[in-house]
Homo-oligomer: A and B are copies of this chain.
Amino acid sequence: MKKKYSFITTLLLSATLSQAQTADSVVVKKLYDATLSHGQSYEWLRQLTTQIGGRLAGSANAAKAVQWGKNVLEQAGADRVFLQDVMVPHWERGAKEEAYIVVGKQKITVPLLALGGSIATPKKGIQAEVIEVQNFQELRALGKEKCEGKIIFFNRPMDATKINTFEAYGGAGDQRRSGANEASKVGAIGVIIRSLSNTLNDYPHTGSMQYATGVPLIPAGAISTNAAELLSKTLKENPKTQFFFKQNCETLDDAPSHNVVAEIKGSEKPDEYIVVGGHLDSWDVAQGAHDDGTGIAQSMEVLRLFKELGIRPKRTIRIVLFMNEENGNRGGIKYAELAKQNNEKHIFALESDSGGFTPKGFGIQGAAASVFEKIQGYKSLFAPYGLHEIERGGGGVDIGPLGPQGTVLIGFKPDSQRYFEYHHASNDKFDTVNQRELELGAASIASLVYLLDKYGL
């Protein structure tokens, strides 16, 4: 009898499970259908990127973006929208940079952007011979003897053979983040890096760098990948080739800014929180479309979709437009600080900050094995929409500070092939975003949030 009983139980259980799956798949389909047929994310992205544009923390545009975000979320039907005060670094590029390669009497102008956080060059710029290296080890081996008074040129490309381009970016990122410090240690007077991009073109890609304490500060800029190829070739032909660059940036006093937070109040467990967000700031030179206007627009769309379809979450869902991801993460840190201070239990936080491309899946961080398996169990619901990858890893810079509070961190993972063509460069524009790809991402995020709220972690 025991066997028979458990057989029937199994039958009943799987019938129930499969009914739940069917009901869920209906809701998931509604989320996709609504987004793809009359979603608002694309229009919101258009407003943010083309009407406001570049919005580095501390800038007037960043303040406009805060106001815009608050208005849109209120109009989209949030139960409550509020701002969180946060002081942010305030770095300004100043007048446009100048740079050229000097070979004998010939000057070849190349596109350069100061790295965020860099100091300016002296007013009339700096010019010196160039030492090209691939990595810090090579630089240290050359030492002061070869590098003193020179400009160091870090030219290690992103590894084209990495299928996930974020891995290739990770493998090249030390040049931008710490190249100035390493070069300074061997007596260099300036640093230029090959832009962190896997595309050969004329757009320099900026990004943040930090000065270490105890080493002299030297200016650092990025040249386009084409310029890097040209400079490398020129150096091979003529090792005495010099480089000139002039940047006019400065770091001002920290400035007041805000995270924007919008809530849908939970119907059963209003004191448990779910965060869905992206970052509102962007580099100054870009429209900040894929980085991270798309994450902002998708997060807002999650709220709109829940309201439109009348989905009442059990837990309180917070759409968070974080400030200052690009050069300080002060918004993310502040959000987690306040969460702790206010004793807010955050179940999970999901960030979209990998571009508005066709969704591939989600990366899960900080989940117990049973929770991870439970989330993987939703794979079949996502398969009809082309998402196949629910894997360990992921998260996001802005939500990262919630990790130590036991919050499960989830990174939205779209296809990564095109991201570093645009990342931190002036071609990161609205018109590089495909409406359907953006919308599929919004619906995917909304669907996962729906499932994780419904069934818990």
Known: A358-B415, A386-B360, A415-B415. A161 touches B437 (CB 8 A): no
Q: How far is the CA of A198 from the CA of B36 in the complex (A)?
A: 10
Query: What's the nearest-Cβ distance from chain B to residue A451, in Å?
Result: 18
The count of identical subunits is: 2
Contacts of A417 in B (CB 8 A): 358, 434, 436-437, 440
Sample of 9 A–B contacts (CB below 8 Å)? A32-B163, A37-B160, A37-B161, A163-B384, A358-B417, A360-B386, A386-B415, A388-B388, A417-B440
A-B pairs, top 5 by smallest CB distance, nearest first, are: A388-B388, A417-B436, A33-B161, A36-B160, A417-B437
Q: How far is the CA of A88 from the CA of B384 in the complex (A)?
A: 40
Residues of A within 8 Å of B, CB-based: how many?
25
Interface centre among A33, A161, A384 (most CB of B within 10 A): A161
Contacts of A163 in B (CB 8 A): 32, 384-386, 440
**Interface: A98 (CB within 8 A):** no
Contacts of A434 in B (CB 8 A): 417-418, 421
Q: A33-B161, A165-B436, A358-B358 are in contact. List 10 more A-B contacts (CB 8 A).
A: A32-B161, A32-B163, A37-B161, A163-B385, A163-B440, A199-B435, A358-B417, A417-B440, A418-B437, A421-B434
The proximity string for A residues 255-289 relative to B, scoring 1 for CB distances below 8 Å and 0 otherwise, is 00000000000000000000000000000000000
Closest to A34 in B: B161
Would you list which residues of chain A between 402 and 418 have a CB under 8 Å from chain B?
A: 415, 417-418
Query: What's the nearest-Cβ distance from chain B to residue A33, in Å?
Result: 5
Contacts of A436 in B (CB 8 A): 160, 165, 198, 417-418
Query: What's the nearest-Cβ distance from chain B to residue A84, in Å?
Result: 35
Contacts of A165 in B (CB 8 A): 436
Contacts of A435 in B (CB 8 A): 199
Query: What's the nearest-Cβ distance from chain B to residue A197, in Å?
Result: 11
Q: How far is the CA of A5 from the CA of B198 in the complex (A)?
A: 53
Closest to A161 in B: B33
Would you list which residues of chain A between 365 and 423 have a CB under 8 Å from chain B?
A: 384-386, 388, 415, 417-418, 421
Query: What's the nearest-Cβ distance from chain B to residue A203, in Å?
Result: 13
